[in-house]
Structure 1
Amino acid sequence: MTKYQLGVNQARQRKFFRWAWKILAVIILLVLLVLLAIFVDSWLQKRKANTPSKATDPVTSTIAPSTQIFTSPYFQFQTDKNWRAIANESTTTKYVYRRGTDNHVEGDMTVYINSSPDDVQATRVMPVVLNSDGTSLEASFVSDHCKKNLSKPQQENTGEVTLTLNSVRFVCDVDGNLFSVIVGLENATPVMNFRRPDGTNANYIIVFTDLRFTPQADELEKIMDTFQIR
């Protein structure tokens, strides 16, 4: 009986060892497969990194310019795309530009050359200076409503008055509610006399009106910083 039991135990041990070796072989095979996969992936990544990339074709932008330049025989300036020249209201001595559309006008700018409007008054003023190059302007800033510089009785009893504001002497539209701005030379008046590149002189008067619910004073400042005498 003892010999029989011993034989059974030995048979079971051999069977167990065979099963264990099979499991171990499977585990070793899986480890080898994982290592092989890692090696192959690393090799492919290195090969890809060493392969010259295809030349990139240049990309052509289709975005339209956001600014435009208006020119005349006497001047040129730059605005955004919302402005347009009004040919049927312009002459050889008056150039009219408008912001917006016919159905929704947001503003106007008129440049008078050697002429003057019938009523040269505004609620605000913006001084400019002539740059050292003699052909371009440098803008200051648009003032507050000119009536703020008057006493209360003057504000109540005066329709218009000539005063000096920010070093420019002009006619203040005391009762006016529009955001109207006249451009003037520092320490001078809105009648700006400039020497042109051809050696002749011309008088320039620039009037700007912003009709938007919230006027943008810096728009005129930006325009005048691009203004050049021709």
Structure 2
Amino acid sequence: MDAATDPTGAVATGIVATGLRRSFGRVEAVRDVSLRARAGAVTGLVGPNGSGKTTLFLMLASLLTPDAGTIRIGDVDPIEQPHAARALLGWMPDSLGTWGALSARETLIVTGRLHDLPKDAARARADELLELVELTSLATAPARVLSRGQKQRLGLARALVHDPRVLLLDEPASGLDPAARVELRHLLRRFAAEGRTVLVSSHVLAELEEVID
């Protein structure tokens, strides 16, 4: 398996997928995809809309069963051991898909509680992440009133709540303004420097050229 050592000396976790296939009726969404994403690096997945990137990410995230092929997140099979895989994974879908009535802070607190963080720890983590993604001023705003770019930043924060070693980020730059895209690039490089595995998708090659390894 692909692995590296993070700055703390711990062994970090990579992704290995081999021969993945997934169809929906007669539509073959993913056909014989194999990839490796190593720890301590940003790996880019580039393809046009409709090319199967999101379907692939859903399989890696243990949310969709492949028709064929194997996946390993470190030594964990996300299909056979979904709970173990989800403890390692931070999943950011291409749209927030959260409870619109909850505030940005409440969204992160609830996510933290779902990951078994104690209540006080979930609150502290929420405030830490709101600052990281520059949403502190909107902490009490309902998620439904956030702009597309703000929802993307909240989605990234939500993926980080449980401090995962592997990040699956589906179109994270979508809706971000130029300054926010630069900040996202800095964050992705920071995550990789911390020893995390970062797999990020886009349908625009230029969005990834300056950040991927």
TM-score band w.r.t. shorter chain: under 0.3
TM-score (norm 1): 0.26
TM-score (norm 2): 0.28
The structure in which a higher percent of residues are strand is 1
Radius of gyration: which is bigger? 1
